[in-house]
Structure 1
Amino acid sequence: MHTNQVYIELDTANNEPHKWWHRRWVKIIGIFVIILTIFAVILALMLNFVIFAPNKSETSTTIATSSSPLTTTTVSLVTPTTTLPRTTATMTTQQSEPTTTSTSTTSSSTSSLSKSTSITTTSTTSSTTISSTASTTTSTTTTTAIPKWTMTGNMSVARYWHTASTLANGFVLVAGGYNSHSDHLDSADLYNPSTGTWTATGNMSVGRQHHTASTLANGLILVTGGLRGSSLNSAELYNPSTGAWTITGNMSVERYHHTSSTLSNGLVLVVGGFNSIGSLNSAELYNPSTGTWTMTGNMNVARNSHTASILENGYVLVTGTWATTGSMNDARHDHTVATLTNGSVLVAGGSNGTFIKSAELYNPLTGTWTTTGNMHVVRRDNTISTLTNGLVLVVGGYNGYFLNSAELYDPSTGTWTITANMSIARGYHT
């Protein structure tokens, strides 16, 4: 070690710049390390939260069932839960209501991401949660069948004022009637619903119109009375197994425009009608076991072109006498009547000097009549049928013109709704 003071001071002065550069270089390296650390932290954050962030997943599931639609109605988020004499025949189809339902569900995943980064000079902890709410959209499509008419095979002979009876084998027997060519008809046709075709069957012994036909408990068809130039009292039986007619006992009174009803005991009650004397109040009973007729109590009022209904309790004839019940609100003839599923009786349309569109209900428990909604069209000599769903279908008729219109009565609301028209206008049909 030097002891010379001057040398020491000179040496110190000479080394001072070196020490200064050494300290400056340490600072530069420290600043550079800090900058690199900041860039590393930023890069790590970008990698974690931007580049490698998990994407939202979507899953779409579709469930669909379909049937052949007729007319579709779409509801979202709410689940709603159909004449001159002619040889033609028209069939109405009560179709089921197919339903097509599609469900679409979109779901988004929920994820949670937590990362921690530690550096010597800086410590940073970051936590983030990425979440989304799953959404579900449901749409329901309900297909409602529209009632429609379909043409089917023609009868072999044009006719009106005939009768139609459903046989035990499902065939339909049409007998007698009238046309402008052959006068009063004795011919009969059978309709096969499976093929939609008609086949001629055995002829009646006597041509007739305005007669009645009743299905007996043994499956035979009883035809009574009618008109052939003059009123008839004859009756005959059709046997579906042989296709032949046989004469049975004559009624005590000639009559047409009468009614016949098969009672629960198997007897057939014939009531009222018209003959050369005028309107009739007489009634008689047919016994299928003996083939004979017996007079029973007269009605209180003579009538023809009326209707007869067997009530839910089976009452039509009580102790051989007739009791007056409540009068209808509107007098009428050539009207139609249907027994409803609740036991009430619906009378609709007809004529009383003018054509009528009014309808009323008879309550067998109280013996009273109440008015219900009017039909949309005045008509008489139409047909009326109680459908399996409880609605009542009125078809065709006459109001100065033969009609092809049809309407449905809803007993639950007491209202009528127009439904599909027949292809051909007709009246006095079955």
Structure 2
Amino acid sequence: MMNARTWHTASVLTNGTVIVTGGSNSYSLQSSAELYDPSTGSWTTISSMNNSRLYHTATVLANGKVLVTGGSNGSSLNSAELYDLLTGTWIMTGNINVAREQHTATLLTNRNVLVTGGSNGSFVLSSTELYDPSAGLWTVANNMNSGRYQHVASVLTNGQVLATGGWYNISLDSTELYDRSTGTWAMVSNMNPARYRHTGSILASGQVLITGGWDDSTIVNSAELF
């Protein structure tokens, strides 16, 4: 890459390139962004975001734009911005209702984006909200049953969203499902073991593969299927 960074994002765009945004190096927070072209194996610096941020999210929308939300620049952020691949520019879009970092932002089957949980720097959040790309606006959605951050939110083949684990004073084994048709959350079976900073991958079978993470102070080597 052109810049050393950690706590950044990397997203595959509709043209096959990969956009890397923000994060931090040893000295400062980053607003910089860059593109990786797999056809040439090269990196190119692109326009910087309007805000430096780490612990943020970057979601590729159905229209090809990239939605960056929240994060931290020393304080939790409520700002959101869009990268337009066609123009190579960043523009601010509507602010999220609750400043948050280490949250999730998941593209739903109706092209909206569901943001869940995270931390505001002082408290773990159970709040969620929805972004409508056609209007550029956010609406408050129903809270999860548990506050959680450093969790995973995965879209299932039936359009529901599975939120797994995370941290809320202790590592969590709880999981819950968001039903887009009703806008409600329902608890489902717990994981084995509790975990945060883990991953969740949708398999061709429609199952979700959960791997690794931390269980309190222990790094986990286990994996499980939902």
| 1:154-196 deviation line (CA, Å, top 9, x unaligned) | x111111111111111111111011012x11000001111111
* Cα distance in structure 2, aligned partners of 1:168 and 1:331: 35
What is the TM-score normalised by the length of structure 1?
0.48
1:194 aligns with 2:39: yes
Aligned-residue sequence identity (percent) comes to 54
**Structure index of larger Rg:** 1
Consecutive unaligned residues in structure 1, runs of 5 or more: 1-154, 363-430
Q: Which residue of 1 aligns with 2:164?
A: none
1:261 aligns with 2:106: yes
Q: Which of 126, 134, 141 matches 1:296?
A: 141
Q: Which structure features the higher share of helix residues?
A: 1
1:343 aligns with 2:188: no
How far residue 224 of structure 1 moved from its aligned partner, in angstroms, is 0.2
1:176 aligns with 2:22: yes
Please give the secondary structure, in 1, of the residue aligned with 2:214: coil
* Cα distance in structure 2, aligned partners of 1:229 and 1:307: 23
Q: Which of 124, 147, 153 matches 1:279?
A: 124
* Cα distance in structure 1, aligned partners of 2:149 and 2:74: 18
What is the TM-score normalised by the length of structure 2?
0.90
| 1:141-162 deviation line (CA, Å, top 9, x unaligned) | xxxxxxxxxxxxxx11111111
Say if 2:47 and 2:89, in contact at 8 Å, map to a contact too: yes
Say if 2:129 and 2:140, in contact at 8 Å, map to a contact too: yes
Please give the secondary structure, in 1, of the residue aligned with 2:140: strand
* Cα distance in structure 1, aligned partners of 2:37 and 2:201: 25
How far residue 277 of structure 1 moved from its aligned partner, in angstroms, is 3.2
1:361 aligns with 2:225: yes
Amino acid at match of 2:5: R
Amino acid at match of 1:322: W
Q: Which structure 2 residues correspond to residues 210-229 of structure 1 after superposition, within 5 A? A: 210-229=55-74
How far residue 239 of structure 1 moved from its aligned partner, in angstroms, is 0.4
Q: Which structure 2 residues correspond to residues 395-406 of structure 1 after superposition, within 5 A? A: none
Please give the secondary structure, in 1, of the residue aligned with 2:130: strand
* Cα distance in structure 2, aligned partners of 1:277 and 1:224: 18
* Cα distance in structure 2, aligned partners of 1:159 and 1:276: 21
Q: Which residue of 2 aligns with 1:166?
A: 12
1:306 aligns with 2:148: no
* Cα distance in structure 1, aligned partners of 2:204 and 2:17: 25
Please give the secondary structure, in 2, of the residue aligned with 1:214: strand
* Cα distance in structure 2, aligned partners of 1:159 and 1:300: 34
| 1:123-155 deviation line (CA, Å, top 9, x unaligned) | xxxxxxxxxxxxxxxxxxxxxxxxxxxxxxxx1
* Cα distance in structure 2, aligned partners of 1:192 and 1:177: 20
How far residue 203 of structure 1 moved from its aligned partner, in angstroms, is 0.4
* Cα distance in structure 2, aligned partners of 1:197 and 1:360: 36
Amino acid at match of 2:224: E
Consecutive unaligned residues in structure 2, runs of 5 or more: 162-177
* Cα distance in structure 2, aligned partners of 1:327 and 1:233: 31
How far residue 276 of structure 1 moved from its aligned partner, in angstroms, is 2.8
* Cα distance in structure 1, aligned partners of 2:8 and 2:201: 19
Query: Where does structure 1 differ by over 2 angstroms across 4 or more consecutive aligned residues?
Result: none
| 1:87-142 deviation line (CA, Å, top 9, x unaligned) | xxxxxxxxxxxxxxxxxxxxxxxxxxxxxxxxxxxxxxxxxxxxxxxxxxxxxxxx
| 1:186-221 deviation line (CA, Å, top 9, x unaligned) | 000011111111110000000000100111111100
* Cα distance in structure 2, aligned partners of 1:327 and 1:167: 34
Count of residue correspondences: 207
* Cα distance in structure 1, aligned partners of 2:121 and 2:43: 36
* Cα distance in structure 1, aligned partners of 2:14 and 2:76: 30
Q: Which of 307, 311, 328 matches 2:191?
A: 328
Say if 2:106 and 2:153, in contact at 8 Å, map to a contact too: yes
* Cα distance in structure 2, aligned partners of 1:277 and 1:323: 26
* Cα distance in structure 2, aligned partners of 1:266 and 1:178: 30
- The Cα RMSD (Å) is 0.9
* Cα distance in structure 2, aligned partners of 1:312 and 1:287: 21
* Cα distance in structure 1, aligned partners of 2:222 and 2:10: 26
Say if 2:101 and 2:121, in contact at 8 Å, map to a contact too: no
